[in-house]
Structures are given as C-alpha cells and as structure tokens.
Amino acid sequence: MRYSFLIILLLSISGHARAEDFDLRKLYAFQWSNVELPSTIEEKRAIIDFIHSKDSLLLCEGRDSTEYEHFMDYVHFVHINGDHLLDVIYSGEYCGEGVLTYIFLNKGSSYEFVYKDMGEIKHLDIQSKILKEFYIEHSGCCDDISVYAGVCTAYDSANNLRFDCKPGADYSWVKLPSALYPNPKLGNVSVEKLTLRMSPKIENSPYDENYEIHGNIIGTLSNKEKTTIWADEKDSKGRKWYFIQTSLTLGWVMAKYIKIESTKR
C-alpha cells in the first residue's frame, strides 16, 4: 500500500531544507476555520468565475463554470497582506490528478495572482492579518512516488507579496501516526546500524525492482545519529516503535534502539 505525505515545490528553488526544520505539529493542528473569514455563496461563485477566466485548469471536460458546488469548498477568504481587503486562497481539486493551490490578492477592483503550484495547503500562519508562512502538501501520482516537505515564508517587498520557499526531506510512502506527542522527545541511535521503515512493523519482503526497496525498508540510521521522536505505536506482536525525524527524513524505528535524551518544547 502506498503512503503519501507532503511535497513542496515552490517557485524557483534548488537544494533541500533539513527535515528537522519542519514542524509536524502544525499539520495536525491546522483548521481552515481558524483563519478563514465569513463569505457568501455569491462571493465564492465570483471567485470560481474569476479563476475560470484566467486558468484553463478548472475548465474540466464536460463541466462548466455553473457547477460551483464542485469547487466552492476549496475557496477560502483570508487577510494576507494587511490592507483589510478580502484576499483569496483556492486549494483543492482541479481537472487533472492531484490538487492545486492559487493565492491571489484583492486589489479593490480586481485580483492579482501571486502564487500558483500543484499541491494543497495544510497550514497557514497569519498574524495581524498578514501571511507569514504556509505548508503545502502534494502527493505524487501515477509512477511518481516521490514526496517532499517544507515551509514557504511570505514577505512583502515594496507592497509586492513574494515567497521564500524551501523544499525539505524525503517522506515517500511514510505512514503517519494518528497523533503526535505534544512535545517531541530528543534521542539518538544506540546501535551501529538501525533500519528505518515506512510503517511500524517488520516487513522484509523480496526486493522490488520497480520501487527499489525491500519490504517497508526506506533507509538506515547510524550509531549516535540524532533523532526527534514524534510518536510511538505498538505492532501486532506488542513491539514498540517510534516515529522519528532526522536531518534527512522521517520514518519508523524500533523504540528499544533509541536512547531518549530530553524533551523538545
């Protein structure tokens, strides 16, 4: 079974951020209701019409702009640049595979697109009506199994909203825990080599040439390698596993091979 997590491929970026810079707690805590402002059906219809007029990705075959209900749940009115006008984020389904995100500013008489990318927003940090950062999720489709994570920071240069975005570590196929510790623990590997797995169980099936993996193995950790521990879970045999984060990736390891050092706030 495929497991997917996050991808952030924003603007023109090279290189990868450290996985430890990505705070998983924000994903679990985010609700659109915490940042979204009241709007009417008519306002959402106008936004869908606007997107239809600017971008063919919402012009689905056999579907026209009168089918508002299909798209309106993905329209969110927010304040993101401090001018008190209702700005808009569209983040959700489109006519291809996967999801799509637009961010555009309300200029009074029109809207200005300031961001567009494949993926779905999963966290927004808005302070004093100004967008500070967001996380975006994009699960690979078809034969693309790569999944990445990161943070996009917003800044306003001469009233021109731009984003400084950093892709993060590889999370491909990783099974997420149902909940995280309120405060993750810090630890390190206590054996010479520790197997990192995509799910909390031992699965050493034969090598899969298509995906270049053995069972659910996605890597190994070295002795004394530092980890952030986000959750634990027991398998069918009662063995305890930790969901951990390193400087490069996330995954599951057997808990008995991790030495707890402290708690992270």
pLDDT 10s digits, 93-129: 887 777 889 999 999 988 998 998 888 898 999 999 9
In a domain, 92, yes or no: yes
In a domain, 179, yes or no: no
Whole-number Å distance between alpha carbons of 246 and 21: 10
Spatial distance between the Cα atoms of 90 and 100, rounded to a whole number of angstroms:
8
Identify whether 251 is part of a domain. yes
Supply the pLDDT for residue 62: 60
pLDDT of 15 higher than 70? no
Q: Is residue 2 part of a domain?
A: no
pLDDT at 17 over 50: no
* CATH number where 199 lies: 2.30.30.40
Answering whether pTM is above 0.75, one says yes
CB < 8 Å & 24+ apart, contacts of 230-236 = 230/24, 230/177, 230/180, 230/181, 230/184, 231/177, 231/179, 231/180, 231/181, 232/177, 233/177, 233/200, 234/200, 235/200, 235/201, 235/202, 236/201
**In the structure, what pLDDT confidence band is assigned to residue 4 with cuts at 50, 70 and 90?**
very low
Q: For residue 9, is it within any domain?
A: no
Torsion sign, CA atoms 222, 225, 227, 233? positive
Distance separating alpha carbons of residues 120 and 102, to the nearest angstrom: 9
Judgement on whether residues 92 and 203 belong to the same structural domain of the protein: no
In a domain, residue 44? The reply is yes
Q: Assess whether 33 and 132 both reside in one domain.
A: yes
Q: Given 113, 143, 170, which residue is the final one in a domain?
A: 170
The label of the residue with tokens 């009233």 reads 159
Last residue within a domain, chosen from 102, 135, 170 = 170
pLDDT band at 1 (very low <50, low <70, confident <90, very high): very low
Residue 48 pLDDT level (bands cut at 50, 70, 90): confident
Q: Considering the domain boundaries, does residue 224 fall inside one? A: yes
User: Contact 79/129 with Cβ under 8 angstroms?
Assistant: yes
Domain-terminating residue out of 170, 196, 211 = 170
Alpha-carbon gap, residue 41 to 69, rounded angstroms: 9
Q: What is the pLDDT of residues 142-195, one digit of tens each?
A: 555 566 666 889 987 666 788 888 765 567 788 989 999 999 999 999 999 999
- The structure tokens listed for 79 are 């304040």
